[in-house]
Amino acid sequence: MTTRRARLCCLDLDTFFVSVERLLDPGLHGVAVVVGGHKGGRGVVTSASYEARAFGVRSGMSIRDASALAPDAVFLPGHHEQYTSYSRRAREIVERFSPTVVAASIDEQYVDFHGCESLYRKAEDADDDATILRVVRTMTKTIDDELGLPASAGIATSKSLAKVACTLAKPRGVRFVRPGEEEAFLAPLPVRKLPGIGPVSEAKLARAGIVTLADLARAPDALLRPVFGAYTAGIRRDARGLGGADLGRERPAFREHDPRGLSLGSISNERTFAETSASDTASILCGLCERVCARARSRGVRAGCVTLRLRYSDFETITRSRSIAPTNVDVEVHCAVLALYRRARTRRLPVRLLGVALSKLSLEGPQLQLPAMDGGARRARTIDAVREKYGYDALHLATTTERSKRRSAS
DNA sequence: TCTGGGGTCCTAGGACCC
DNA sequence: TCTGGGGTCCTAGGACCC
């Protein structure tokens, strides 16, 4: 039997968006910063500095609530291109320390150090665990020194546990959970700390008297099955710190292509509106179709299924989807979306959100020469070429531009 | 916690085929 | 014509994550 070693590392950039904003504007250091929108405006908090958290601001909270809690905070809509760029640079640093890195999101990565001990061993290290701990500390310090981004890390025997350890290590901390100490480490924590348990499961568990991870680890299967379904066994393993040591797979958005032949994921775009003017829905849908199709073409995939998402002002949310002949051509997707919209829009209530998603993605295969394409595909490629040169908004389908004209006229 | 936007994965019912 | 069961795909909804 092989002994479990704590060699999986979860690395998370602390208050990532806020940290990047502080690099762009050093005057933001030491003050309460909230990223997600203008003060008092719509939207939700995507990142809050510790100074803002002191007032009770949390990510996911509406900007309006955050404005009430921390009226003197600096509110910023954010610079997403910058976040992407810094995320990539952080990853490049992590890859210097281990070849096995999986990005879980823009600010979170998992690193496998199995087999790296001899590479980094130093005489001063008490044992291999000490070696790995030292290397991870060096790694987070390098990210801070070179990019100016604070980071935290958790090191453990499983992915799930490394994640929990990382959360507890924040900010600017590194937490190492030794093999054998997993269950004791997790036992007193509230169930909500475990990845995969959200507010709904937390409430259901509480009703069954399950509050801590120790409770969860002991709970009979019959109690957990209705809450977690197929996840039951995995959740219980994770609650005892005995989860798997595999890193999971890279999110499709962070993958160049799909070497393992697994699902290519999905591509979606949605918009929530302040005021809902029904006359605009056609052009909004058109714009959404254009966007997802442009992304599909740039990723070299076609969609075999299109989904429309519609949310009424009372928050009732409806999805309608349809399988289609694989395509990434705007007009074909738009046509399917309009049919779905007619099916979905049964109530008179104002609409607050519209979304379009592409799924059942497949690789395009060898690129067709322009003359061999049909009209729609040819037009789409030409539009891509113009946008490549002059920017995304250089060209839109007629329905989309009419709306922006009307808006700028009013 | 009156709630954005990008995703992943699971469930469950019905259609359809053999 | 009726019956049953299994497999698979499609569709809609929902929980969760960052």
Domain with CATH 3.30.70.270 in chain A: 1-13+80-254
Domain with CATH 3.30.1490.100 in chain A: 267-409
Is-contact A176 A182, C-beta < 8 A? no
Full-model pTM: 0.88
The residue lying closest to nucleotide B10, measuring its CA against C1', is A230
Quickly give A262 CA vs B3 C1' distance in Å.
33
**Nucleic acid strand C: bases within 7 A of protein CB:** 9-18
For the stretch A83-95, pLDDT in tens is 999 999 999 999 9
Domain with CATH 3.40.1170.60 in chain A: 16-79
Class of domain A1-13+80-254: alpha beta
Q: Among A61-70, A228-237, A259-268, A348-357, which stretch is predicted with the lowest mean pLDDT?
A: A259-268
What is the predicted pLDDT for the residue at A251? 60
What is the set of active-site residues of A?
108
CATH 3.40.1170.60 fits A16-79, yes or no: yes
For the stretch A165-185, pLDDT in tens is 999 999 999 999 999 999 999
Find all residues with CB under 8 Å of A313, minimum gap 6, and list them.
A276, A349, A350, A351, A352
The residue lying closest to nucleotide B3, measuring its CA against C1', is A62
The rounded distance, in Å, linking the Cα atoms of A25 and A248 is 36
Q: What is the CATH number of domain A267-409?
A: 3.30.1490.100
More confident site: A256 or A251 = A251
For the stretch A323-372, pLDDT in tens is 999 999 999 999 999 999 999 999 988 899 999 999 999 988 766 666 66
The rounded distance, in Å, linking the Cα atoms of A217 and A210 is 9
